[in-house]
Structure 1
Amino acid sequence: MNEFWSTLRELPGAFAWPWWLCALPLPWLARRLLPPRRSASAALKVAFGDRLDAISAPGGGGSSGGISVFAWLAWGLLCLAAARPQQLGPAIAPPQAGRDMMLAVDLSGSMSEEDMTLGDSVVDRLTAAKAVLADFLDRRAGDRIALLVFGQRAYTLTPLTLDRDAVREQLRDAVVGLAGRETAIGDAIGLAVKRLRGQPAEQRVVILLTDGVNTAGALTPMKAAELAKNEGVRVHTIAFGGEGGLSVFGFRLPGTGEDEIDEATLQAVAKTTGGRFFRARDTESLSGIYAEIDALEPVQRPGQRVRPRIERYPWPLAGAVALALLGFAAPLRRPA
């Protein structure tokens, strides 16, 4: 029996409490099985009593037939409303759940170095990083993303938000030197940790892109890494930059560049916090790194689409009330 009711509840457009439909015959059963009410008061006996009994009996020539129809219909609708009829609504998917991710981008003076290729053009490091980051943002639906930039100081341009377009716009408007010409890697990590501190654990991620050495700020990168470790923040570090050097009419002069990225410190920061270290020497390798980070920090995809049940009991309930009122009003409208 329990399986029968469970199957009935699972039918499309079915009832939440279908057992209430068993109450439909109760008035009829009560009328058939219960003894008639006998009055103890004195009664007037007349010679044509049999005819009066026939008139007052069910189906007789009295006026109770119309009222009983309203009563039966009202009772049926009332039982229908009690069974809670439901209708399946349109299918919806639960929202995606992702990470609280902080993008920390270096805007120091060295990011203006034109040693990157984007398409057929030679561009500076920041322009190349912007192009790759924009593609990365397109794949992070469900993440709350913040944008932090740093040079001599660190600043949060965009707080944690699901609005990736806002992050993309702020990134597009960022320019070299906006936060100073030096590089404060430690302060950038420290500020990111501070902004992520109040977010759910195991969801806090920092992706730090830099092309230099820590030359400014109050925190050393390793001290900031310890703070990140204590707060459960993973820091993925990306050392980004080509060979550098001088260029003439778009052609690079060999032997004029010098790699000044502190890879050892960036590796130590990533290892301390449980993150990964990456080295990108061109736009293609940087794009591959962000694709790898995308796999390391997956976004939880939506679950199975579900169809919510919409309650429809107000309609039969309103019908029952209306029929009950009509049943009471019908005898009042008959002429005396």
Structure 2
Amino acid sequence: MFEFAWPWLFALLPLPWLMRLVLPAADSGEAALQISFLGDLEELARRKARATLPSWRQQTPYMLLWLLLLTAARPQWLGEPLPIAASGRDLLVAVDVSGSMDYPDMQWQGEDVSRLDLVKSLLGDFLEKREGDRVGLILFGSQAYLQAPLTFDRRTVRTWLDEARIGIAGKNTAIGDAIGLALKRLRQRPAQSRVLILITDGANNGGQIDPLTAARLAAEEGVKIYPIGIGADPEESSSKGMFTINPGVDLDEPALEEIAKITGGQYFRARDGGELAAIKDTLDRLEPVAQQPTQARPAQALYSWPLAAALLLSVLLVIRELWPNNPVQRWLSKDHFLQQHPDWRARLKRLRLRRRR
């Protein structure tokens, strides 16, 4: 189907005639002569100007040139609508980067690693494989920050996750603020595809929003939350220097379970790398939800054709002005036209006779 992308430009069609009416006549630059009957001469000059206006044959090339320029207002040929696959979900991941996430109590491939390093390794693989999903990243501590907005560029999101550092968002844990920020970003998306994966190793002790209140608001907006509590069991204490630390003592599992229950999600517990890998596989089995299908029509631009014709016509007009006796000028003259078309000469004679009668 043929159409103009900017059809409103055709409103400029009468612009040259309007400018001729509105703008004053150009000054010839000749010396002026003051005489008493100047008014009569001006009236004669106006009559002469009206009588010597260019004929339709002289105006036609310029009208055609202006029309060609307006026709170049992005004409295009639109093909048949083609469907664009839009399956998947909008998946935000909120990662706790408070100081306790630096504790090396997680086991992965026979080595002790910190909680955050394990999350970077396994969750990064999870995000990069979510083909067809929009993924985003929230980092939270004392406050919550949107590190990566929802995007199909999963590799960049993983890079930003790998660059996350302990304490970058503060020392506390603002779980409610993280949920609130995720809700703000997900509420504009289709309700069937709003998912938040919340990873933390502590209890809410910062921020402005209560986690359960934020969870209820998320449930109203159709956001499903999957909390993941990370850290070894409290009884599996490890010593660090002269102090004994229970690495999972601060984890508020009842609150995380309630958040999952309110929003229709599921709570997971990761005590080591094996359990977190199993959780990742479980989340991978979430079937994508089909979103509103979209269509696109391929467009082929055609503006080069009228522009090329306008350029060619401009060159011919310049040749006519610089070379008065050129073939183009002769072709445009009435005598040459009548010589080439004798039948029109006879028609003009008959028309003159009718007018005289």
* TM bucket, shorter chain: 0.5 to 0.7
1:219 is matched with 209
> How far did residue 297 of structure 1 move?
4.3
Aligned identity (percent) is 47
Using the alignment, how far apart are the partners of 1:111 and 1:120 within structure 2? Answer: 19
Alignment of 1:7-22 (within 5 A): none
2:283 is matched with 293
> How far did residue 217 of structure 1 move?
0.7
> How far did residue 111 of structure 1 move?
0.2
Q: Which runs of 4+ in 1 moved over 4 A?
A: 253-258
Using the alignment, how far apart are the partners of 1:110 and 1:218 within structure 2? Answer: 21
2:117 is matched with 127
Equivalent residue letter for 1:215: N
User: Structure 2: 5+ residue runs without aligned partners?
Assistant: 1-81, 294-357
Q: State whether structure 2 residue 100 is matched by structure 1 residue 110.
A: yes
Q: Is the 8 A contact 1:143 1:299 kept in 2?
A: no
> How far did residue 255 of structure 1 move?
7.8
| Change in CA separation of 1:164 and 1:246 when aligned onto 2, cut-off 3 Å | same
Q: Is the 8 A contact 1:99 1:297 kept in 2?
A: no
Alignment of 1:13-92 (within 5 A): none
Q: Deviations over 1:270-301 (max 9, x none)?
A: 11011111111011111111211121343669
> How far did residue 138 of structure 1 move?
2.9
2:151 is matched with 161
Q: Deviations over 1:158-193 (max 9, x none)?
A: 000000011001000001111011100001001000
1:7 is matched with none
Using the alignment, how far apart are the partners of 2:220 and 2:246 within structure 1? Answer: 42
**So what's the TM-score if we normalise by structure 1?**
0.58
Equivalent residue letter for 1:134: G
| Change in CA separation of 1:181 and 1:297 when aligned onto 2, cut-off 3 Å | farther
Q: Is the 8 A contact 1:209 1:239 kept in 2?
A: yes
Using the alignment, how far apart are the partners of 2:214 and 2:246 within structure 1? Answer: 33
**So what's the TM-score if we normalise by structure 2?**
0.55
User: Structure 1: 5+ residue runs without aligned partners?
Assistant: 1-91, 304-336
Using the alignment, how far apart are the partners of 2:207 and 2:246 within structure 1? Answer: 29
Using the alignment, how far apart are the partners of 1:169 and 1:157 within structure 2? Answer: 11
1:174 to 164, 175, 179: 164
Using the alignment, how far apart are the partners of 1:257 and 1:231 within structure 2? Answer: 34
Task: Give the structure, 1 or 2, with the largest relative contact order (CA under 8 Å, sep 6 or more).
Answer: 1
> How far did residue 257 of structure 1 move?
4.6
1:209 to 195, 199, 220: 199
Q: State whether structure 2 residue 208 is matched by structure 1 residue 188.
A: no
Using the alignment, how far apart are the partners of 2:210 and 2:160 within structure 1? Answer: 27
Using the alignment, how far apart are the partners of 1:217 and 1:275 within structure 2? Answer: 23
